[in-house]
């Protein structure tokens, strides 16, 4: 399905994890267009009801405990990640020329809390606003995290700017090991191109917007996450033509390590986040 407005064109695949297949502005790709048949080949997918990895899939909130099976498609990676929405089919509940609403309901299971998730996409002169919410449909308090997992095109000159106070160092299997925290938010790339650092980690204490510039294309974009999205996961694999900038509510394995950074929803309660992506021409 496709929605368009003000030069923005968004192609969605509800049946494929509620994902974005491509986002263009006046014909220029802002996200990496879908390039294959797996969920990792889409332009963006939603993160619900948690972000990133849960160590060995095990958690114990005191009231509830459980184990989630590994869910990394095509891999034996031991830590399930990104929740359940990205691997589920979503239903279209509303669609117009410039907007769409998708819904995914999880009945409970390995994650012992049933929930309803919604994504809303709205296009306009301000850009593309994407929101995601999760509602606790169960009878007990549910921990919840939300986020977005967009992929962006990258060449040797691509620059990413995001100001954060902390950077997590990871173990080889991408679990947090230690936090390097500064007195103030800094640009951890120090203005250098994305290629200068190969990372797959979380940055905490975000301040302000996130920006990407493609000087060779004369194009840039600004990502403005809502305040709840205080953490940014960056995945910049060496030698690839893409990278990910993921606004999220909490760092990796938060349910076990920093549960206070998750939302704790009473039965019937809803948490929601949003991000606005706007394109700009470089001078």
pLDDT at 96 over 80: yes
Give tens-digit pLDDT for 156-195. Answer: 999 999 999 999 999 988 898 999 999 999 999 999 999 9
pLDDT of 76 reads: 77
Buried b / exposed e over 268-280, threshold 16 CB at 10 Å, is eeebebbbbbbbe
Give tens-digit pLDDT for 47-79. Answer: 999 999 999 999 999 888 889 999 887 777 889
Task: Provide the percentage of residues in the chain whose pLDDT is more than 90.
Answer: 93
Q: Where are the domains positioned within the chain?
A: 2-281
Give tens-digit pLDDT for 23-56. Answer: 999 999 999 999 999 999 999 999 999 999 999 9
Task: Provide the percentage of residues in the chain whose pLDDT is more than 70.
Answer: 100
Question: Who wins on pLDDT, 135 or 173?
Answer: 135
On whether the CB atoms of residues 145 and 151 are closer than 8 A, the answer is no
CATH topology of domain 2-281: Beta-galactosidase; Chain A, domain 5 (2.70.98)
Three-class HEC string of the chain: CEEEECCEEEEEECCCCCEEEEEEECCEECCCCCCCCCHHHCCEEEEECCCCECHHHEEECCCCEEECCCCCCCCCCCCCECECHHHCCCEEEEECCCEEEEEEEECCCCCCCCEEEEEEEEEECCEEEEEEEEEECCCCCEEECCEEEEEEECCCCCEEEEEEEEEEEECCCCCEEEEEEEEEEEECCCCCEHHHCCCEEEEECCEEEEEEEEHHHCEEEEEEECCCCCEEEEECCCCCCEEEEEEECCCCCHHHHCHHHCEEECCCCEEEEEEEEEEEECC
Q: How far is CA 209 from CA 8, 160, 164, in A?
A: 20, 11, 10
pLDDT of 229 reads: 98
Instruction: Please tell me the pTM assigned to this model.
Output: 0.96
CA–CA separation, 133 and 81 (whole Å): 18
pLDDT of 165 reads: 97
**Averaged pLDDT, 201-217:** 97
């Amino acid at each position: 399905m496709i929605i368009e407005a003000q030069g923005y064109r968004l192609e969605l695949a509800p049946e494929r994890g509620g994902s974005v297949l491509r986002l263009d502005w006046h014909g220029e790709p802002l996200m990496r267009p879908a390039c294959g048949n797996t969920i990792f080949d889409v332009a963006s997918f939603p993160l619900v009801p948690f972000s990133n990895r849960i160590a060995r899939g095990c958690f114990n909130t005191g009231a509830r405990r459980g184990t989630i099976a590994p869910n990394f498609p095509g891999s034996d990676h031991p830590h399930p990640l990104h929740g359940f929405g990205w691997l589920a089919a979503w239903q279209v509940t509303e669609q117009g020329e410039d907007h769409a609403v998708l819904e995914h309901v999880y009945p409970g299971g390995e994650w012992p809390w049933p929930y309803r998730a919604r994504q809303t996409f709205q296009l306009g002169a301000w850009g593309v606003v994407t929101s995601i919410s999760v509602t606790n449909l169960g009878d007990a308090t549910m921990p919840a995290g939300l986020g977005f997992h967009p992929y962006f095109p990258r060449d040797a000159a691509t620059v990413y700017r995001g100001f954060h106070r902390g950077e997590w160092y990871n173990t080889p299997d991408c679990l947090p090991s230690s936090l390097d925290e500064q007195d103030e938010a800094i640009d951890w790339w120090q203005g250098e191109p994305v290629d200068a650092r190969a990372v797959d980690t979380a940055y905490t204490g975000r301040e302000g917007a996130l920006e990407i510039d493609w000087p060779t294309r004369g194009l840039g974009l600004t990502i403005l996450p809502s305040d709840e999205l205080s953490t940014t996961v960056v995945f910049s694999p060496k030698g690839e033509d893409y990278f990910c900038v993921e606004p999220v509510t909490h760092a990796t394995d938060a349910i076990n390590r920093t549960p206070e950074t998750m939302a704790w929803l009473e039965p019937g309660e809803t948490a929601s986040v949003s991000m606005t992506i706007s394109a700009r021409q470089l001078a």
